[in-house]
């Protein structure tokens, strides 16, 4: 057994007997983890503002309180709200209401890793970061499969933080698969790197492939089905996880294997690693976190999301989905952003113009 991996036998639910656990935020992760812990026999209450999530928590049979009330009532608090609003909620509603030696659990290392939130030493500070979306956390608890998580004890005020952490992991269901101990900083960097390096490179390759074929005269419907709408790629990723990156190749035809291997070497000298290292260094140094915390970055973000709706690929895909009579699902409503901040600088506008020029290629 690798030293930093914990499994089912490492957690003891008795550690949590007679303790009250508060979940702040009843979104995808909040609901899944709350239901899992309740099914494990723990006392769980919800802290949430008055919105549809609060109604859902009540419908699911939980006691629901304001964030301040739920914090005062608990011994262990899960802070399962978006990173970008976490500091404000913590400072205004949680910091002065959590009892001494109470535990606060984060599902992301971001705010602790980059010193955006600084809990006092009188609290246990724990990390349980599932490597699975909320619905998967619930589903794999019910099927007894479990899921991987990154976990860590950042501060041990109670002298029982590690026992509490592993008991919570058992209650959520992650120990059935395995929980890996890494630091808050390591978790945050891995997550951000995946989003900022791998994701964009993969996206660029996918878009370039699509328009190479479309511009060559292949039907857009056929191209999009071939490239991602068939869901074949999700099947391939599933097999990568199950049997390994190399071994999953055997699920493909020999023609496919030969073509991929013989042509793959043509892309070996692309400067991808050099650019990825720059992104990694930018994340590790904390420069990205400092950038994102600026008010100007939130304004830029509104523009970026708006530009994304105007891209060639988005227009093409919407047309293909209509032609294929696929159900259209809109998770977000986009409104054209306005510049309503007097501190907008020429530098910001130049960055936006550069991004607009780039993204309009697709």
Cα atoms in the Cβ-side hemisphere of radius 13 Å centred on 277: 4
Per-residue pLDDT reduced to its tens digit, 178-190: 999 999 999 999 9
Tell me which of 96 and 260 has the higher pLDDT: 96
Give the number of other CB atoms < 10 A from CB of residue 118. Answer: 13
- In 194-272, DSSP assigns E strands to none
- Distance from C-alpha of 203 to C-alpha of 64, rounded to nearest angstrom: 41
- Distance from C-alpha of 69 to C-alpha of 83, rounded to nearest angstrom: 21
Domain ranges across the chain: 5-182
Question: 């994340």: which residue's tokens?
Answer: 283
Ramachandran sector of residue 244 (left: φ over 0; alpha: ψ -120 to 50; beta: rest): left
Confidence of residue 165 (pLDDT cuts 50, 70, 90): very high
Per-residue pLDDT reduced to its tens digit, 272-315: 899 999 999 999 999 999 999 988 888 888 888 877 777 888 88
**Poorest-pLDDT segment among 150-154, 210-214, 269-273:** 269-273
Per-residue pLDDT reduced to its tens digit, 8-34: 999 999 999 999 999 999 999 999 999
- Distance from C-alpha of 165 to C-alpha of 152, rounded to nearest angstrom: 8
Sequence-distant (≥ 6) Cβ neighbours of residue 50 within 8 angstroms: none
Q: Would the pTM count as exceeding 0.75?
A: yes
Q: Sign of the CA dihedral 61, 66, 72, 78? A: positive
Indicate the length of the chain as a whole number.
362
3-state secondary structure labels for all residues of 157-212: CCCCHHHHHHHHHHHHCHHHCEEEECCHHHHHHHHHHHHHHHHHHHHHHHHHHHHH
Tell me which of 220 and 306 has the higher pLDDT: 220
| Cα separations in angstroms, 112 against 35, 100, 158, 342, 347 | 26, 19, 19, 31, 30
Superfamily of domain 5-182: NAD(P)-binding Rossmann-like Domain (3.40.50.720)
């Amino acid at each position: 057994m690798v030293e930093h991996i914990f499994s089912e036998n490492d957690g003891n639910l008795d550690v949590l007997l007679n303790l009250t656990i508060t979940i702040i935020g009843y979104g995808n992760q909040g609901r899944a983890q709350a239901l899992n812990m309740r099914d494990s026999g723990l006392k769980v209450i919800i802290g949430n503002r008055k919105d549809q999530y609060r109604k859902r928590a009540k419908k699911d049979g939980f006691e629901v309180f304001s964030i301040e009330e739920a914090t005062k009532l608990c011994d262990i608090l899960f802070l399962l709200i978006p990173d970008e609003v976490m500091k404000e909620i913590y400072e205004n509603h949680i910091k002065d209401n959590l009892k001494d030696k109470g535990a606060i659990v984060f599902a992301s290392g971001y705010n602790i890793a980059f010193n955006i939130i600084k809990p006092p030493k009188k609290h246990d500070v724990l990390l349980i970061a599932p490597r699975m979306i909320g619905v998967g956390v619930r589903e794999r608890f019910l099927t007894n499969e479990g899921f991987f998580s990154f976990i860590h004890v950042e501060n041990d005020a109670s002298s029982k933080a590690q026992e509490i952490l592993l008991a919570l992991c058992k209650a959520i269901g992650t120990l059935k698969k395995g929980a890996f101990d890494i630091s808050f900083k390591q978790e945050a960097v891995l997550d951000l790197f995946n989003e900022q390096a791998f994701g964009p490179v993969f996206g660029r390759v996918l878009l370039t492939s699509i328009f190479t074929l479309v511009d060559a005269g292949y039907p857009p419907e056929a191209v999009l089905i071939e490239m991602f709408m068939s869901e074949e790629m999700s099947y391939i990723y599933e097999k990568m996880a199950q049997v390994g990156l190399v071994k999953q190749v055997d699920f493909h035809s020999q023609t496919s294997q030969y073509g991929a291997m013989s042509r793959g070497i043509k892309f070996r000298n692309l400067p991808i690693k050099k650019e990825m290292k720059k992104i990694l260094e930018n994340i590790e140094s904390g420069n990205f976190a400092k950038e994102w915390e600026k008010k100007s970055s939130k304004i830029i973000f509104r523009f970026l999301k708006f530009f994304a709706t105007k891209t060639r690929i988005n227009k093409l895909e919407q047309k293909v989905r209509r032609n294929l009579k696929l159900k259209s699902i809109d998770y977000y409503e986009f409104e054209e952003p306005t510049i309503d901040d007097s501190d907008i600088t020429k530098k910001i506008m130049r960055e936006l113009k550069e991004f607009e020029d780039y993204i309009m290629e697709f």
